[in-house]
Structure 1
Amino acid sequence: MSAVGLARATIRTLLLAGVREFVLCPGSRNTPLSLELAEAESRGLLRLHVRIDERTAAFLALGLAKGSGVPAAVVSTSGTAVANFHPAVVEASMSHTPIAVVTANRPLSMLGTGANQTIPQVGIFGDATRATVHVADERPDTWQGALHKAVYAMGGSPVGQGPVQIDLGFSPPLVPTDPDFITPVQRDEPHLGIVAEAPIALVALPPRSLVVVAECAAELAESAVRTAVSAGFPVHIEAGTSLTAANEACLRAGAFLLRSDLIREWRPEHLLVVGRPTLSRPIPALVQSGDLEVTIVSDDPSITNPMQTGLPPARASKVEITGLVDADFARAWERADIAAAEVIDAQTREVFDAGAAVAVVAESRPDVLVVASSNPVRDLDERAVRRSQRVVANRGAAGIDGLVSTAVGVALAVAPARTTALLGDLAFLHDANGLVIGPSEPRPDLTVVVVNNDGGAIFASLEQGAPEYAEHFERVFGTPHGADLEALCAATSTPYQRCGDAGALADALAAAADGIRVIEVPVSREQERERRQDLARRVLAAVETSLATES
């Protein structure tokens, strides 16, 4: 059997697992895969995407899998090409996104010989993969068992679905010498990698309970919000992927209420946390305070000690919340939320800053919103009205890398749905290679909004942004770059528009994207810390006033 035979067997196994999106990077050792994938696309078996940068390619596969909800594959040659997949593999692992990382290799006997482009790449991703298999072309009797092991692990393992590495040892000849081709998948063949559903968690809450819904699957978030709202409990839903389950009965200003006097005056006796909170420090602080009961429901089997509580979470794909709410408790939270929201909306109208720009993007209501970590997702959490919105965010590891490519992948997967990506300038620059797309490649309709404050604005609101660290702050945290985004877009023939106020941004977003376009929104980073602290003071003062009026 040949390298080409192993390539065909690998592609067919992935097709049986439901993979239809393949991302390919050029190389020599992966020649059998490259030729077979191109031929398979010409016969309508799959869709192929070619990228010259392996890191971009891996994040594109991540976005395709997140957008479609089914596994995607990324393919590379040997050597350092493989190492460039690592950041996306880590995110896929922590966000439980199934992707097959197919790495071409030389026979393992070549290690230590000085052979070109040969590194110890089997298992290079460590614990980030659900399984790693090496399959040698000279051992066809091992192919099926090893490939099926990887596919089943991608669909589900003790720590949930996620990425796998399929490392293929290819020896020459690397090009086809026969007319055979991949055997088409038949309709009646068994699908590989199916995972059984988790159970429903039944949670009866005491009268003064607060419900927090954070990063989790849409099914769990929807069941939590629906049943908690129906019972009348206050619900704070973080503006991440679970925002798809939001409705206007959820708290609008929960990000502020959790650090307000409301927590002291109307302190919950019980806190129910559904999913994994990633945006708000007060939530872990409440969980660990020790003076209220805590229940945690999670669909993430890799989390065994949530927020360092020592409490095992209830593992479930759905939750049903019941209980009789304390009407006075619920009204106090509702009044405080209304008062806080009025201040937030007033600030958004009066001052066009990063938060206001994010609010305009949210109000444009794209079908899918891809949001960067750091300030964009936090501004969304503070400013956005709670309504159902599909959000894709790389919050598994909360990195800012690969986000342009992730957004391209999402947009390709959900087309013709309207997709907008909301990025900061550093996230955009970090993955500017994501705009390098060949003329023959599938290209989505995607609007990329870049809120550009020339540096790392998030650090201004953290401890290192305090005045006593001002001497070195700008260089090592602020990191101004002075990059010309318009020129960068011109280099890749990407349509560009600059919007300096809310009206211009709203008008630009109202126009349909034709291909990939970039909208730059320049905002000032001066007094960033003071602006954010002033907004928080005003919101918290409004909450305090609502409490005083009530009493």
Structure 2
Amino acid sequence: MSVAVFNRRWATLILESLTRHQVKHVCIAPGSRSTALTLAAAAHPHLICHTHFDERGLGHLALGLAKASGTPVAVIVTSGTAVANLYPALIEASLTGEKLVLLTADRPPELIDCGANQAIRQPGMFASYPVQALDLPRPTPEISARWLVSAIDNAMAQQTHGAVHINCPFAEPLYGEDTGEYTEWLEQLGDWWQGHQPWLSFAPVQNSPAQPDWLSWRQKRGVIIAGRICAHESELLVQWADKLGWPLISDVQAATGNPLPYADLWLASPQAKSVLERAQLVVQFGGGLTGKRLLQWQAACQPEEYWLIDALPGRLDPAQHRGRRIQTPVPAFLLQHPAQHQPDWAPELDECAARAGHAIELHLASTFGEAAAAWQLPSLLPEHGQLFLGNSLIVRLADAFAQLPAGYPIFANRGASGIDGLLSTAAGVQRATCKPTLVLLGDISALYDLNALALMRQCSAPTVIIVVNNNGGQIFSLLPTPEAERQQFYCMPQNVDFQHAAAMFGLDYASPTSMTELHDAVTQCWQHGGVKLVELKVNETDGAECLRSLVSEASQS
């Protein structure tokens, strides 16, 4: 019984230590070996606990919470394959920077590799993806509380981005009444318990200095690319670019308002390519670009220098340009490198964007489908809300056709760009902000994370989930996949009806057959509240064909 009590003391100190590093949310899956951690989290007055029965979805729920809150989020799971199910969310966080703290309960060492139930080799199982891994010993009062709290502080101090993995073995017994033993072990920390600071604090790394030759570079012809940056950063960047007179090309993840919209179309234009060849400097803010034509131009451009600004580490430039990789937050860079008023040196790009917009309107004004829904996406958004975009074809259609409003929060999982856990991540984003939320994703993505609809039942503000059902992975219709094998091995049509999924989880449901009906279904949810699953049953290949046709038309202009 005393083992169970000390396990609880050990876990209590772990959770208290994490609160000193801004952890407010804890996502918990059911399990026995993790009992000490679960009970400690549940008893903590300053922690908000979230639960889910699926560890893969739980990891993505934490990812969404961290994405929208900007603070570290803890995850508690039991031992065995429960831990392995956190891998996809961990990988995504390592690429996009959200801070996760994975508390994985484990069997003690004597139960590993001997046939014990639910026992696998957990230390190091995530390879190099965590920014820091801490393999704790089995809890024992012979190890001081000071060691444990400083070990947690040291691990968390390394978390500039991504995940920290803390593996926590616990010996049995796991259950028992709290007899009051071992309180003196916690009291070793003295008045630390009455404060809010870590036991061991580390000085932060200073931001990158200003580029000494910026005054010269800002006189030249520059092009700005906005990649994966947040809404506040996007607004600051628009002002900076406008003052410089430099064209700003925006990814769908950047809330710039797209001063040059529909770039995925007009970048195919020979006129646009000719104008952009005159650029002397390209400055990219944030990685993870989406549009194919933007990626192609980014890879082919040859300015005098290419600068990439992002607070995350790493090169983040698959084209390996010659230039500068500046690791600093976007606002800090803009403050250090003030703009100077200059005339717009590439007004022809406005003409290219206007032609693309006119072509889109001619193609889509009287149609219903996923391309039309992407084009009219701005009119579907809730006021003072947020947007979560899925992956594959739908994010590319939104990138090509939608001119989203400036400063409007946009979330996506565009690190590894997987379709797993998208609904779970969106649920985490909604819980972190409590804002009205529009989720837009494809049918295969929804099927992949279908049990996350259980998380959606607990949304605190009106939420609409639009599932574009084009019967399969139609992103492969854009790729030169072998036609004979395309349906069976790539698109994999499932012939499903999401009305049954909505009913199973108690969600409202609509299946509009026109853009008017779609607007009505979405507007009703914004006005009356609740959670609604809206299924768009569309022709299988129309969306991909529309994008291909418009790109071809733009390439002739």
Cα distance in 2 for residues equivalent to 1:347 and 1:438: 35
Contact in 2 for aligned 1:209/1:269 (Cα 8 Å)? yes
Q: Which of 471, 476, 486 in structure 1 is aligned with 2:489?
A: 476
Query: Given the alignment of the two structures, is residue 21 of structure 1 paired with residue 25 of structure 2, yes or no?
Result: yes
Tell me which residue corresponds to 2:468. Answer: 451
Tell me the alpha carbon deviations over residues 266-307 of structure 1, each in whole angstroms, 9 at most, x when there is no partner. 233233222214213344443443643242222144322622
Query: Given the alignment of the two structures, is residue 48 of structure 1 paired with residue 49 of structure 2, yes or no?
Result: yes
Query: Given the alignment of the two structures, is residue 293 of structure 1 paired with residue 335 of structure 2, yes or no?
Result: no
What CA RMSD, in Å, does the superposition of the two structures yield over aligned residues?
2.6
Q: Which of 10, 34, 49 in structure 1 is aligned with 2:14?
A: 10
Cα distance in 1 for residues equivalent to 2:404 and 2:502: 33
Cα distance in 1 for residues equivalent to 2:544 and 2:422: 25
Tell me which residue corresponds to 2:34. Answer: 30
Tell me which residue corresponds to 1:332. Answer: 348
Tell me which residue corresponds to 2:477. Answer: 460
Tell me which residue corresponds to 1:164. Answer: 164
Q: Which of 276, 279, 283 in structure 2 is aligned with 1:269?
A: 279
Give the letter aligned to residue 477 of structure 1.
Answer: Y
Q: Number of paired residues?
A: 523
Query: Given the alignment of the two structures, is residue 418 of structure 1 paired with residue 427 of structure 2, yes or no?
Result: no
Task: Compute the displacement of 1:80 (Å).
Answer: 0.6
Give the letter aligned to residue 88 of structure 1.
Answer: A
Query: Given the alignment of the two structures, is residue 146 of structure 1 paired with residue 163 of structure 2, yes or no?
Result: no
Please give the secondary structure, in 1, of the residue aligned with 2:400: helix
Contact in 1 for aligned 2:378/2:404 (Cα 8 Å)? no
Tell me which residue corresponds to 2:421. Answer: 402
Task: Compute the displacement of 1:109 (Å).
Answer: 2.6
Contact in 1 for aligned 2:371/2:543 (Cα 8 Å)? no
Contact in 1 for aligned 2:64/2:426 (Cα 8 Å)? yes
Q: 1:301 to 1:198 in 2, by over 3 A?
A: same
Greater CA drift, 259-268 or 164-173: 259-268
Greater CA drift, 215-224 or 403-412: 215-224
Tell me which residue corresponds to 1:137. Answer: 139
Query: TM-score, length-normalised on structure 1?
Result: 0.88
Cα distance in 1 for residues equivalent to 2:221 and 2:355: 21
1:373-412 superposed matches below 5 A: 373-388=391-406, 389-412=408-431
Q: 1:519 to 1:527 in 2, by over 3 A?
A: closer
Task: Compute the displacement of 1:486 (Å).
Answer: 0.6
Tell me the alpha carbon deviations over residues 151-193 of structure 1, each in whole angstroms, 9 at most, x when there is no partner. 2223x2xxxx111111111112323542669999645535978
Query: Given the alignment of the two structures, is residue 344 of structure 1 paired with residue 356 of structure 2, yes or no?
Result: no
Contact in 1 for aligned 2:42/2:49 (Cα 8 Å)? yes
Query: TM-score, length-normalised on structure 2?
Result: 0.87
Give the letter aligned to residue 347 of structure 2.
Answer: R
Please give the secondary structure, in 2, of the residue aligned with 1:140: coil
Give the letter aligned to residue 143 of structure 2.
Answer: P
1:230-249 superposed matches below 5 A: 230-240=243-253, 242-243=254-255, 246-247=256-257
Greater CA drift, 443-452 or 227-236: 443-452
Cα distance in 1 for residues equivalent to 2:360 and 2:377: 16
Contact in 2 for aligned 1:209/1:325 (Cα 8 Å)? no
Task: Compute the displacement of 1:528 (Å).
Answer: 4.7
Task: Compute the displacement of 1:316 (Å).
Answer: 2.5
Tell me the alpha carbon deviations over residues 524-550 of structure 1, each in whole angstroms, 9 at most, x when there is no partner. 113554332222233444xx2xxxxxx
Q: 1:522 to 1:175 in 2, by over 3 A?
A: same
Q: 1:438 to 1:115 in 2, by over 3 A?
A: farther
Please give the secondary structure, in 2, of the residue aligned with 1:247: coil
Greater CA drift, 441-450 or 334-343: 441-450
Unpaired runs of 5+ in structure 2? Answer: none
Query: Given the alignment of the two structures, is residue 178 of structure 1 paired with residue 178 of structure 2, yes or no?
Result: yes
Task: Compute the displacement of 1:378 (Å).
Answer: 1.2
Q: Which of 510, 519, 525 in structure 1 is aligned with 2:540?
A: 525
Task: Compute the displacement of 1:442 (Å).
Answer: 7.0
Contact in 1 for aligned 2:75/2:100 (Cα 8 Å)? yes
Q: Identity rate of aligned residues, in percent? A: 26
Query: Given the alignment of the two structures, is residue 189 of structure 1 paired with residue 202 of structure 2, yes or no?
Result: no
Q: 1:529 to 1:371 in 2, by over 3 A?
A: closer
Cα distance in 1 for residues equivalent to 2:456 and 2:318: 44
Contact in 2 for aligned 1:443/1:516 (Cα 8 Å)? no
Please give the secondary structure, in 2, of the residue aligned with 1:273: strand
Cα distance in 1 for residues equivalent to 2:283 and 2:431: 36
Give the letter aligned to residue 80 of structure 2.
Answer: G
Q: 1:438 to 1:288 in 2, by over 3 A?
A: closer
